[in-house]
Amino acid sequence: MGQLGFYYDQTACVGCKTCQIACKDRNNLEVGTLFRRVHEFEGGKFPKPYAYYLSMSCNHCKEAKCVKGCPTGAMHFGEDGTVQHDKDMCIGCKYCVWNCPYSVPQYLEAKNIVGKCDSCKDLRADGQNPACVDACVMRCLKFGDLDELKAEYGNDLVRELPVLPSASQTNPSFLIKPKNEALNQTYKKREV
């Protein structure tokens, strides 16, 4: 099996946040905690303003800094190569929160541990898709073998954007079909 990860068609995403809500529901998260987040960006000036969205969860990086820096082994690679978290081994030290360049691990104060997207491994083990993938109204999200996703959706996909860290840091398992606006360096800090 090759490297597994998400494909995201940013050109079709309408920013409805259904994926975000489906994930929150699936993981029974408290108010204020999200394992998938739809970011919004804006740019340009009248008469040519624009906006774009970026739906992102854990990128299940091949060289994950959260795994490397975890002192207990709670953050680890699963058998399929995805980045998994063992809540019983977690001591809530937050090193993974600081080490992840994508700000993915979320500290869950009430439990004094972290949590994050597990790629809906239980659903996948049952032959189903992750909850966010099936919830997307525009069918923008897929999860699977990255080589197969590349073969299906083309070679003009990217793994980083001006608003994201360099992919060379962690080798993220994330393929984006980018909107042209999202490749514009000028507006990278104007998140709304």
Binding site for ligand SF4 (CB under 6 A): 13-19, 22-23, 26-27, 35-36, 38, 53, 55, 57, 70, 72, 74-75, 85, 90-96, 105, 114, 117-120, 130-132, 135-138, 140-141
Smallest distance, ligand SF4 to C-beta of residue 75, A: 4
- For 32-62, b/e burial (b = at least 16 CB within 10 A) is eebbbbbeebebeeeeeeeebbbbbbbbbbe
Smallest distance, ligand SF4 to C-beta of residue 166, A: 22
What is the Cα–Cα distance from 56 to 139, expressed in whole angstroms? Answer: 15
Nearer to ligand SF4, 96 or 186 (CB): 96
What is the Cα–Cα distance from 70 to 175, expressed in whole angstroms? Answer: 26
Alpha helices per DSSP H over the chain = 18-26, 65-69, 95-99, 121-125, 131-135, 146-153
Smallest distance, ligand SF4 to C-beta of residue 133, A: 7
Nearer to ligand SF4, 69 or 165 (CB): 69
What is the Cα–Cα distance from 129 to 33, expressed in whole angstroms? Answer: 22
Smallest distance, ligand SF4 to C-beta of residue 39, A: 10
Q: Please classify residue 70 by burial: count the beta carbons closer than 10 Å to its beta carbon, then call 0-12 exposed, 13-18 middle and 19+ buried.
A: buried
Smallest distance, ligand SF4 to C-beta of residue 21, A: 8
Q: In 3-state terms, what secondary structure has residue 113?
A: strand
Q: Which of 2, 1, 6, 3 is nearest to 174 (CA)?
A: 6
Look at the alpha carbons of 109, 92, 76, 159 in this order and tell me if their dihedral is positive or negative.
positive
Nearer to ligand SF4, 96 or 187 (CB): 96
Nearer to ligand SF4, 46 or 74 (CB): 74
Nearer to ligand SF4, 27 or 173 (CB): 27
Smallest distance, ligand SF4 to C-beta of residue 44, A: 21
Nearer to ligand SF4, 26 or 187 (CB): 26
